[in-house]
Structure 1
Amino acid sequence: MSNNHNDRPIGVFDSGVGGLTVVRALMERLPLENIVYFGDTARVPYGVKSRTTIETYTQQIVQFLLQQDVKAMVIACNTIAAVAADKVKNMAGNMPVLDVINAGANAALNATKTGKIGVIATSTTVNSNAYARAIHAQSAQTRVVSQACPLLVPLVEEGWLDHEVTRLTCKEYLKPILSEHVDTLVLGCTHYPLLKPLIAEEAPNITLVDSAITTAEDTAQALLSARLLNTEQKEADYRFFVSDIPLRFQTIGERFLGRSLEQLEMMNLG
């Protein structure tokens, strides 16, 4: 370890593999930063679990990341962000804590011209109303139309990114949103950035907000203002921890990351 405090890693965590789209965006936006990722693949999906359980799991992950001496935390999971963001902030003390929901909500507010924003997400995220709350906290008169899209995650994990079945599924899910004439659409699940090209075709003339990219941008700004940016010009170190290495994890993970997954370790927290 060098004596440079700023070369400590950014901790990024998710209930599974989806958060790797956020890691990918962070690698592109902040190429000098070291990253430690934790994906709770043994206990995914979180979306169907109770608030108490999600909070308990989140606590275990945050404790693990604090042991890795991270300098900032990124909640790369919409479910955790919707349910346990405050818990993470309390545990993290005064280090920057970023999350996909606030990042996506802010970016959508900056993008919309008509004040009509669509959100597509998993059922849990939609039911939590977290995006609408985050948007309305800043702009009460903005109209938010949310649509749960439970079939999209399995289609993305299947690799059907430009498949007729996926296209028809997106078309169906987008119908109610498009009928409300939104001008901005938040991709409110970390799996959805992989469907961006397809969604752009099905929702032309609508600004798509990719919460992975916006979260990376927010992280860059937060590190800058906290004077935590790493300036060491050496190759960044990426470590990936998962609580289970399920079948096809490597394949799916590398598709999300856009590069090979090295330094992958199993870490059971429960």
Structure 2
Amino acid sequence: MDLKDRPIGFFDSGVGGLSVLKQAVKILPHEDFVYYGDSLNAPYGIRTSDKVKELTFNAVKILINKNIKALVVACNTATSVSIEDLRKQYAKSMPIIGIEPALKPAVKNKKNGKIIIMATPVTLSESKFNNLMKKYNYNDNIVPMPCPGLVELIESGIVEGPEVEGYLKERYSCLIETEIASIVLGCTHYPFVKKALIKVVGEMGKDPFIIDGSSGTVNQLKRQLLKYDMIKKPGDEKGTVRIFNSLDTKKIIDLSYKLLSIK
């Protein structure tokens, strides 16, 4: 198989990375994609760094065995913990693209108020995130918000309704009197509850700029494919998407395709 015709591999701790894959399908419609979610071991955000690294490398080996030409680690936690080691091992073979909280566009927004960064506890504790904070934390306006339990809700298929809204109301209850400029969705699962989030903060009388790292990650993927002349030649046919998951159940695969098709 010609290198350009090989699929692009996407990995996440579960179904969250599908939010990034959705952007990739839009921006690179002629490419083929293979997605692997490790829902059996989700969430990564409550595990030790060593365990996250072990699980990430195991998943990447599965994708490499599917003859991929590039790898997107569409998981903030896995990127924080493992991206440097992945590049040391595989960068000579293929482009390795990670994702991180979209703090830069949130800071550039220039709107008055706090910048809330929703992420898993592990992502917020890793040095990669702390270095990102130091880079942009020119004042006290950046507020990390750990969200334990939110990934589990999304993995179970609950992305809207009373349970998700109740969770978000509890998280934001301490910010009722706080002006919020932006909300950064620092986990690839979180865009799937964006509708519920908009409703909850709207009921609090707030209208923040809500952003995630999907577009930036996919644009970087496209740049790397062009750089190494690996991009698939446009044709009449759109690319394909194959989804695999460590749970290997009809329920999780059906949920994955459903989330991929959500507007």
The runs of 5 or more residues in structure 1 that have no matched partner are: 260-270
Q: Distance in 1 between matches of 2:244 and 2:52?
A: 18
2:37 is matched with which residue? Answer: 39
1:61 to partner: Cα distance:
2.3
State the SS of the aligned residue for 1:74: strand
Which among 23, 27, 30 is matched to residue 28 of structure 2?
A: 30
Q: CA RMSD in A?
A: 2.6
Contact map agreement 2:14 2:39 (CA 8 A) in 1: yes
Unmatched 5+ residue regions in structure 2? none
Q: For residue 44 of structure 1, report the CA deviation from its aligned partner.
A: 2.4
- 1:250 aligns to 2:247 (yes or no): no
**Aligned counterpart for 2:238 among listed residues 228, 235, 240:** 235
CA distance in 2 between counterparts of 1:42 and 1:157 reads 10
Residues 159-208 of structure 1 deviation map (CA, whole Å, 9 limit, x = unaligned): 44331332232122124456553412111122211111221233332111
Structure 2 CA distance, aligned partners of 1:224 and 1:16?
A: 28
Residue number among 222, 225, 242 corresponding to 1:223 in the alignment: 225
Q: Name the counterpart of 2:47.
A: 49
Corresponding residue number in structure 1 for 2:64: 66
Q: Secondary structure at the match of 2:100?
A: helix
Residue 97 of structure 1 aligns with which residue? Answer: 96
AA of the residue aligned to 2:211: V
- Report Cα offsets for 1:137-172 as digits up to 9, x if no partner: 3x3415421111223223334444331332232122
Q: Which residue of structure 2 lines up, in the alignment, with residue 268 of structure 1? A: none
Q: Does 1:141 align with 2:138?
A: yes
Q: Which moved more, 1:21-30 or 1:38-47?
A: 38-47
Letter of the 1:96 partner, please give it. Answer: P
Letter in structure 1 aligned against 2:145: Q
Partners of 2:40 and 2:166 in 1: CA distance = 31
Paired residue for 1:263?
A: none
Q: Secondary structure at the match of 1:100?
A: coil
1:27-80 CA distance string (max 9 Å, x none):
122111111212123322323322222222222222333333322211111211
Matched letter for residue 100 of structure 1: I
CA distance in 2, matches of 1:118, 1:11: 30
How many angstroms apart in 1 are the aligned matches of 2:61 and 2:250?
27
Query: What SS class does the counterpart of residue 42 from structure 1 fall into?
Result: helix
Q: Percent identity?
A: 29
Question: 2:114, 2:226 → 1: CA distance?
Answer: 31
Deviation of residue 243 (structure 1)?
Answer: 2.1
CA distance in 1, matches of 2:228, 2:116: 32
Q: Name the TM-score, length of structure 2 as normaliser.
A: 0.83
CA distance in 2, matches of 1:247, 1:241: 11
Which amino acid counterpart does residue 190 of structure 2 have in structure 1? Y
Q: Which aligned runs of 4 or more in structure 1 are off by greater than 4 angstroms?
A: 112-116, 177-180
